[in-house]
Every structure is written in structure tokens, then in C-alpha cells.
Structure 1
Amino acid sequence: MMRHTLLILMLLACGMSASAQLTLKSEKGDFEARLIGRALFDGGVFFSDKTALGNSLEVYDVRLGTVVRFLERWTGKIELGFAKSKVSMKDIYIEYNDGKNVFKVGHYFEPFSLEYRIGTSDMKFNGAAVTGTAFGDRRRLGISYTYNCDVLNVSGGMFSDKDIDNTEKGDEGYALSGRVLYRPYVKGKDIIHVGVSSRFGVQGKAEKNKLTYSAGAPSNLIPEKFLKAEVTEAINEWKFGAEVVMVLDKWYFQSEYLMAHVNRKASVENYNGDGWYAQVGYALLNGRYGYNKMSGMATAPGAKSLEILCRYNITNMNDKDAGIMGGKQNDFSIGGIYYFNKYVAVKMSYSLVSLDKYAPVDGKQTFSMIQGRIQLSF
């Protein structure tokens, strides 16, 4: 029944997006509801000298939801995911926005880091940068405030530290998160921003004083976690981030450094893990890059354009002093995206991955992959 329902919803969504996006408005114009969704079809060929990585085809991500606007300054969003035959909650929140001040409450990403918060259909490669996957954050229940103007964006919030799908009993922990972006260069649509972010989390009994950092290859098709650090005896956690985004006509650049520090009980040493990545893009044929001042993210160059992309990433989960060796990974990716229109795009990429001897899956090795994606989003 679930599969049949999902198929009907997908066909309905495709039919509506082919003509125009479905929007409902009240007669007075004080209420508006818009259907949103996406479907990502992924495929990959993998070349490995150790770990058996089977070639794969799958529907990676399917989303359906709605965005509502009411009483001029209020908006709400409800979005569900249907990937891998499982229903999961994505963005579910209410927001008040008067142009500069934004109050939000619900289930959404904390104001920390950048790469992992970018939607799957807007990511430049099939998978997020491994550093973002490892040390970025997930959606949490909470409340936040954002102040945004031409040169500055400041966000802060309080959230539950417990994943919404964690059903373990016990007191929940909490987290305080904040992100500050400064835009020293703003000239028309050309923008440069530099930013810092921080997160402080205290684990509750549901987390059993253990934190696990893990990440795989830069691919959504490979389930193996080539990096994994299990940090026991945790008291609290600090995360720090620094980022740079540049949008200069047809050029785009994004880089980020993330660090996780876990304070542990006196009997063991504290743990530190970190990583960074840098990626650059150039828009061919048509269009130019844009920038969203509220989110601090670059936007795609538009229909009939072709992006050429390159990314280098280092992620290190080894900490000898703490006695935790979760592995170190270097990966290099090149790729391209062609946008047929505002709804349909095609992605292709090649990645080369190198792991050190502490990697928990088959130790030191090098492997590569070619990946593709056809995506529908509306």
C-alpha cells in the first residue's frame, strides 16, 4: 500500500510540475499554499582494490510537502521524505519574518555550518562534502532568531540534542547554536561572505554519554562508513566552524572548516576531530550564480546553463591523545550540472578517495567512482 501511494504521489507531482507549480490562494490574498517536492534518481560505477563496492541504481531521495504563507509575515513548511521505503520528517516549522527579523520554531537545521544544510537537489555533487557529513549538524526540534541585513546575518537558537527518531527513554540533552555571517563585499549580485559558527551540546540519558562521528565516501550510493569515531564518557560537545562563500558573476567558490571537541570524564583524554573542503564552480552557456542573503548560500545559475565543478576535501577523525583512531580520508571530485529548466537537471561527477590505515573498513586503500543523477524539483 505504501509503495502504491508513493507512486501515485510521484506521478501527480510530476504532472503538476510539468505545467506550472500548484499554488492555492485565498480570495483576499492573505493565505497562499504551494506544493513542493523533489525526486532524485542516482546511479554509480565504483572501482576499488579492497572493499567490494557494487555498481548501483536507486531512487535516492523523494520529498513532498507544502509551503504556506499567511497574514503577510507568517510562513510555514511541512515536508516529508520517502527515501528507501521509509517515511521521515524533514523541515516542519512556523516562521515570522518582518524583513530583517526572523523567528522560527519547529523541526529544522540549527544555525551551524553550511554544506550539510544545503538541500539535496541544490548540492553541487551527488553527496555532500564528507567533512560536512561528519561534523555538520542534523535537523532538531527547537526555536531560533535571525537578524539579517545587507552586510550582516546573525542567527542563534536553542534545540533538543536528541534526534527526533531516537525513541530511547530518558532525559533529553540540549544544544545552543549560533552563526554569524559578514559580507565585506556587496556589489549588485556579486557577494563575498565570511562566517563563523559554534554549537554547544549536552547529551542526555537517551544518548548514554556516547557520541559517534561517522561518514562514508562522497556518495549516497555507498552505505559503508569509512570513517567512524565512537567517543565514550562524553560530558559535553563543542563544535566550531568557519566558512567563505564568493559569488562573482559566473564564478562560485565555497570553503568550510569544521572542528568537533568532546569534553570527557577525567579518566580519559578529550577528543578532537576536524576537516575542511574547498569547491569552485564556473557557469557556462547561460546565466550566472545568485546568492540568498537569508540562508547565506549560493544559488544555481539558471535554466540552460552548465556548471563545471571541482572539490577537494580532507576529514580527520584520528586523535592519538584520546586513543580514538577513526580514520582519515582525502577525496578529490570533478563534475558538471546541466539545467534543462527550473525543474529538471542532470549531474555527473568523478571522485577519487584515499583512506589511511585506521579507516574502520579494510584500512588503507584508494578507490574511485563515477556517479550520475537525474533530478526533478519543484
Structure 2
Amino acid sequence: MRSEAAVRPTLPTLLMLSAATLGLSCGSARAQTMSADEAAALRAEIASLKAQLQRMEQKLEAAVAAPPPVATSAPVPAEPAPAPAATEISWKGSPQLSSDGRTFKAKGRIQADAGYVTHPNGLSDRGLGYAAEMRRIRLGGEGSLSKAFGYKLELELSDNAVDLVDTFVTWKNGPWHLALGNQNQFQALDELTGDTTGSTMERAAFTDAFNFERRLGLSAQYEKADWLLQAGLFADDIDALANSADGPDGGDENNSYGVDGRVVYAPKLGRTQLHLGASAHWRDLKRLSEAGTRYAQRPYLHTSNSRLIGTGVLDVRDEAHYGVEAAFVRGPLHGAAEAHWLESDLAIGPTPRFFGGYAELGYFFTGETRGYGGGIFERTKTARPLGAGGFGALQASLRYDYLDMNDRGVVGGRQDAWIAALIWQPIDYLRFNLNHGWLSYGDAVPLANGDRSYRVRTTGARMELDF
């Protein structure tokens, strides 16, 4: 369809039509008197005039259609400023915010326990029997300030006190990872694995008896392919660094220090994830040795505050301990084993060597595979959550746990324990843990008749929410 502009008459067109009409009229009027040659010349002149008028009309239309020229001296308008980066929200147990390379994720943990420890005949101990507690309440957050710098801050209510747990700043560059703050010292696989991802309610007996804890320090790790190397220089735990720990005579008992290292080789062989590791640690207690050190252990459950085995208070100048680790994951089957030795250099007398270790096997009846990464066991993802067409994840494990604190004149006692655990995870981030233990003691707290070898049984249950 032709546009309105294409059919609208223009001034050149009207002139051309008027001239043509006038020429035709004149030609008709003179046709009777002019010769044929004169008429032909007049027609040619009219045709030439019409062609000129058509060219003029085409130039005029082109000039009207073209945009007006931009003056070269006029300023070029600036480009609009980019819009601020949008904040993205994702869900990883709790909302995770990310914007312009920065992230933040709230973290929390709730663990409520109930437990029962049998009374050996002839032992009067109010710390045994039934008890319930809020095992842990933890709140905090973690995130990144840029691609290289990150942070983590967590506060925990446990044993009716508020403590700093993981609280540090991190720096990452390729395979390198640095952390500065309150953190673990790469002691052992079972210690480094989170308490909400472990295969039993409590960790191996040696981790508590040998006083494993977080400490303030600087750590570095290098992870590439199947290898993980970790090392750090550490001061003391947060409580020892506080002025309230100085005692009545003061002294600022915060000058202890130690070095720690761990190496892990974790190849993947077909469907099997392997884990082989070793760690070594040394610590000079400095003025803390004046207060003395004791190594002791509960009857498995944390709901009991009793220590049925333990050394007396020892004047320990420095500690050296080392351990080996092995683990595997293959489909729903998983297993782990560790051995750990602690040598305590006493101010007077020989250096005793204590030993602890465990071995376990576990299985997911619902087909899940136990999570693993970064040299530790991680969270397991539920394959078929409850309420979404499934039952959740059901895991069972059996552990043998051994601890011996008798050596070179120091009698701290021995423990043999079998721990059976059944863990139901209906949905991700929520677990229900049921444990039963059979514990045999030697050189333990004596009964009324003086007997120091006896048995106890424990039953514990835990609800745990972790995000």
C-alpha cells in the first residue's frame, strides 16, 4: 500500500502538471497554424521540462526524509550509570544472599539429648542414671567479602556457657587456603568431622580424653587433586586467653603455643572413595603447666558429667601426639578407623604414652552415600525425603572404641566400648540419633568393695537440626 506522503501533490508536481496542461492547450490552439516540425519541437521541450521537474521533486523528497545533521560541536550525551547489582537469594538450609561477589549465609544448630547410664553395683555417683540436656545451641554466619576473602563467626551455648567456636577470616587463592582466628588444629578425622554429620552421637573417646579443642591460630592448607596438606601455628583456647582464667595470683596464662600438621591422600577408585591420613602435633604448655593437666573421659554420653576413668592432675610441660586415619565410602557402605598416641612430658618422672582408637562400619538402608570432601565426612543428601514420596535416609553403624591411659606409673584406666547407632534423617538438615553402648572398664573409679573392673551400659537419643 502506498503511503499518504507518496500520493500527496507537491509544488513541483503542480507546476509540472500546469506546464504540461498549458503546453497541450497551446499545442491544441496552434495546431491549426504551426507546422509539423514546430509541433514536434514544442513536444520535446515539454518532455525535457517534465524530466527536470521530476528530478527536482526526488531531491526534495530525499531531503525531507533524511534526519537533520548533528552539529560536530554539540556534546555527546554520557552513557547512563549501570544499575546496582541485584541481590540473589538461594536456599542452603537457610537463606544465602549473594550480590556483586559478596555472600552471606546464616548458620545455626540445635541439639537436644536424653540419656541413661547404668549404675554399677556398689558405685554411688549422682552423675549416672537418667539426664537430659540441650547439648548445643549455635548461631552465626559465614560468607565472602570478595572472591579471595571470607569469614565465619559462630557462638555456641553449651554446658551453660557461651563459647566462641569457628570464628576466623579466610583467604583463598587457587589450591591455597589460609585461616586466622579460632579454629580446629587438624587433630583427627573424627574430631574434624562435624558433630551433626558423624556416625554416632559422640566422637571417639580419645578426642575428649586428650583434650582436643579449638585454639586461636594461623593455619594454611593446600589441596590439589587427591592430596590435602594442612599445617598451623596455634596459641591457646579462648578461655585460657581470657583474664578470668588467670587464677587468684594472676599471671596471664596465655603464653602456650603449638604446631600442628596433617596430610590426607584421598583417591577415587571406581565407585570407592578412599581416605588415608596422618597427623602430628606438639605443644608447649608454658605457665599453664603450673595449674596441672588431667586426662579423663565420660561414660560415652555427654548427659553424664562423671569420669569413670582418668589420670590425676599431672605436671605436664609439653605434649606430643600423632595419629593415623583410614576410611572409605562405597555406595551405601562406609567405614573408618583411627589410632592416636599422646606422649606427655612430665616435669618429674618418665614420659607416659597413652593410646586411643576406634573402628566402625556403617550402612544406609535407603541407598544414600555418605558425604565426603575436604578430608572429612560431610553432610549426606537425602535421596527420597519424607513428605516427597520417600521415607528419608536411614543409617546404621557399629563402632568399637578403645582408650588406654595406663603407662609408666600413671594409672588412668582403660575402656573397651561397643557403640551401635541408628540415625534417621527424614529431610535434609534434620536428624534423629539413637545410640546404645556396652562399656567395659579396667582401673576405673573403684566400687564400694574396691573392684576397679566393671561394666556399664548407655542409651542415648538426640534430635539435631543443623543449617
TM-score w.r.t. length of structure 1: 0.88
Residue 329 of structure 1 is aligned with which of 383, 404, 415? 415
User: Secondary structure at the residue paired with 1:369?
Assistant: strand
By percentage of residues, which structure has more helix?
Answer: 2
User: Secondary structure at the residue paired with 1:49?
Assistant: coil
Q: Distance in 2 between matches of 1:312 and 1:117?
A: 19
Evaluate the alpha carbon distance shift between residue 268 and residue 209 of structure 1 in structure 2; reply closer, same or farther with a 3 A threshold.
farther
Residue 198 of structure 2 is aligned with which of 95, 98, 123? 123
Q: Does the CA contact (< 8 Å) of 1:203 and 1:235 recur in 2?
A: yes
Return the offset for 1:150: 2.1
Q: Does 1:176 align with 2:259?
A: yes
The range that moved more, 298-307 or 54-63, is 298-307
Higher RCO (CA 8 Å, separation ≥ 6 residues): 1
User: Secondary structure at the residue paired with 2:295?
Assistant: strand
Alignment of 1:153-168 (within 5 A): 153-160=228-235, 162-166=236-240, 167-168=245-246
Q: Distance in 2 between matches of 1:190 and 1:353?
A: 32
Return the offset for 1:296: 2.9
Evaluate the alpha carbon distance shift between residue 301 and residue 309 of structure 1 in structure 2; reply closer, same or farther with a 3 A threshold.
farther
Q: Does the CA contact (< 8 Å) of 1:23 and 1:32 recur in 2?
A: yes
* Matched residue type, 2:463: I
Evaluate the alpha carbon distance shift between residue 157 and residue 176 of structure 1 in structure 2; reply closer, same or farther with a 3 A threshold.
same
The answer for the alignment partner of 1:371 in structure 2 is 460
User: Secondary structure at the residue paired with 2:273?
Assistant: strand
Q: Distance in 2 between matches of 1:124 and 1:210?
A: 33
Return the offset for 1:146: 0.5
Q: Distance in 2 between matches of 1:306 and 1:329?
A: 29
Return the offset for 1:361: 6.0
Considering only aligned residues, what root-mean-square deviation do their CA atoms show, in Å?
A: 2.1
* Matched residue type, 2:94: Q
The answer for the alignment partner of 1:12 in structure 2 is none
Structure 1, residues 59-100: CA drift from partner, whole Å, max 9, x if none?
111100001112112221000001243211100001112341
Alignment of 1:209-220 (within 5 A): 210-220=292-302
Q: Does 1:289 align with 2:370?
A: yes
Q: Does 1:199 align with 2:265?
A: no
Q: Does the CA contact (< 8 Å) of 1:116 and 1:136 recur in 2?
A: no
Q: Does 1:87 align with 2:172?
A: no
Q: Distance in 1 between matches of 2:401 and 2:315?
A: 29
By percentage of residues, which structure has more strand?
Answer: 1
The answer for the alignment partner of 2:335 in structure 1 is 253
Q: Distance in 2 between matches of 1:281 and 1:59?
A: 27
The answer for the alignment partner of 1:3 in structure 2 is none
Q: Distance in 2 between matches of 1:194 and 1:173?
A: 30
Q: Does the CA contact (< 8 Å) of 2:219 and 2:231 recur in 1?
A: yes
Q: Distance in 2 between matches of 1:20 and 1:148?
A: 26
The answer for the alignment partner of 1:63 in structure 2 is 138
The answer for the alignment partner of 2:424 in structure 1 is 338
Q: Does the CA contact (< 8 Å) of 1:61 and 1:83 recur in 2?
A: yes
Structure 1, residues 138-196: CA drift from partner, whole Å, max 9, x if none?
10000011011221111111001x3211222245111000001112x414663111111
Structure 1, residues 259-295: CA drift from partner, whole Å, max 9, x if none?
1012234x41111101110111101113212211x24
The answer for the alignment partner of 1:228 in structure 2 is 310
User: Secondary structure at the residue paired with 1:212?
Assistant: coil
Q: Distance in 2 between matches of 1:123 and 1:188?
A: 24
Q: Distance in 2 between matches of 1:131 and 1:300?
A: 25
Q: Does 1:36 align with 2:107?
A: yes
Evaluate the alpha carbon distance shift between residue 119 and residue 290 of structure 1 in structure 2; reply closer, same or farther with a 3 A threshold.
closer
Q: Does the CA contact (< 8 Å) of 1:225 and 1:361 recur in 2?
A: no
Q: 5+ residue gaps in structure 1?
A: 1-17
* Matched residue type, 1:250: P
Q: Distance in 2 between matches of 1:361 and 1:176?
A: 38
Q: Distance in 1 between matches of 2:316 and 2:323?
A: 21
Q: Does the CA contact (< 8 Å) of 1:112 and 1:136 recur in 2?
A: no
Q: Highest Rg: 1 or 2?
A: 2
The answer for the alignment partner of 1:46 in structure 2 is 117
Q: Distance in 2 between matches of 1:22 and 1:312?
A: 39
User: Secondary structure at the residue paired with 2:311?
Assistant: strand
Evaluate the alpha carbon distance shift between residue 190 and residue 74 of structure 1 in structure 2; reply closer, same or farther with a 3 A threshold.
farther
Q: Does 1:313 align with 2:401?
A: yes
* Matched residue type, 2:95: L
Q: 5+ residue gaps in structure 2?
A: 1-90, 247-251, 386-391
User: Secondary structure at the residue paired with 2:199?
Assistant: coil
Q: Distance in 1 between matches of 2:184 and 2:415?
A: 26
Q: Does 1:140 align with 2:140?
A: no
The answer for the alignment partner of 1:360 in structure 2 is 445
Evaluate the alpha carbon distance shift between residue 209 and residue 200 of structure 1 in structure 2; reply closer, same or farther with a 3 A threshold.
farther
Q: Does the CA contact (< 8 Å) of 2:197 and 2:378 recur in 1?
A: no
Q: Does the CA contact (< 8 Å) of 1:109 and 1:117 recur in 2?
A: yes
Alignment of 1:96-107 (within 5 A): 96-107=171-182
The answer for the alignment partner of 1:274 in structure 2 is 355
Evaluate the alpha carbon distance shift between residue 87 and residue 186 of structure 1 in structure 2; reply closer, same or farther with a 3 A threshold.
same
Return the offset for 1:199: 0.3
Evaluate the alpha carbon distance shift between residue 291 and residue 20 of structure 1 in structure 2; reply closer, same or farther with a 3 A threshold.
closer
Return the offset for 1:369: 1.6
